[in-house]
Amino acid sequence: MSAPSVTLRPLESGDSDRLLTWRNLPEIARWMYSDHAITPDEHARWLAGALADARRRYWIVETDGTPVGLANLYDLAPEHGRTSWAYYLAEPSTRGQGIGAFVEYWVIEYVFRELRLNKLWCEVLIGNEAVWRLHEGFGFRREALFREHVIKDGAPADVVGLGLLKADWAAARAASRVRLVGRGFDLPA
């Protein structure tokens, strides 16, 4: 079985129009904290901040050379040994191919091997069960339930907080790697 070739490359200013389109897609916006239509000016301010902020990292996810999504770290706090993260795949054709799992593995490896941090954290709307279960499959543990944490579609929504420690990853890495290799992804040992 052969998996698509997946790479993560640094975000560039030339990605702006694509990102604005993605961020306003209903299937992406439904899982973001905000759900208003993002204006070009608002997006330009966000992108300028994203590219300039040393406490954030952004990558464009590409499959077979085609941009399909975004992954990022934010609240990067080396002084505390932790960072937060999020990602999305904007192209519906990518779903079900293991690309999200590959991105998850890649980001986790980057955080613990390259940045040498101790904790990776994320927040997921409670209704996005597929994503928080995916995180749990990689060793993340539910650490919080933020009740009525955000307003979505005019109603309060709960948010799940999940954390992965470097020690958790050491225990989960081999099984996670085997699952991805079994799907045809080429990963270093």
Burial of 129 (0-12, 13-18, 19+ CB in 10 A): exposed
What are the C-alpha distances in Å from 169 to residues 128, 166, 175? 22, 5, 10
Length of the chain: 189
122-155 pLDDT tens trace? 999 999 999 999 999 999 999 999 999 999 989 9
What are the C-alpha distances in Å from 140 to residues 100, 125, 162? 15, 15, 6
pLDDT band at 115 (very low <50, low <70, confident <90, very high): very high
pLDDT band at 93 (very low <50, low <70, confident <90, very high): confident
What average pLDDT is seen over the chain? 95
Q: What percent of the chain has pLDDT over 90?
A: 87
| 3-state helix/strand/coil string of the chain | CCCCCEEEEECCHHHHHHHHHHHCCHHHHCCCCCCCCCCHHHHHHHHHHHHHCCCCEEEEEEECCEEEEEEEEEEEECCCCEEEEEEEECCHHHCCCCHHHHHHHHHHHHHHHHCCCCEEEEEEECCCHHHHHHHHHCCCEEEEEEEEEEEECCEEEEEEEEEEEHHHHHHHHHHHHHHHHHCCCCCCC
25-60 pLDDT tens trace? 999 988 988 888 999 999 999 999 999 999 999 999
Amino acid at 75: D
State the pairing for strand pair 82-89/141-152.
unpaired
Answer yes or no: is pLDDT of 172 > 90.
Answer: yes
The whole-number pLDDT of residue 96 equals 87
Answer yes or no: is pLDDT of 1 > 70.
Answer: no
pLDDT band at 188 (very low <50, low <70, confident <90, very high): confident
The whole-number pLDDT of residue 129 equals 94
Domains, the chain, with CATH or none: 6-182 (3.40.630.30)
Q: How far is CA 126 from the centre of its chain?
A: 16
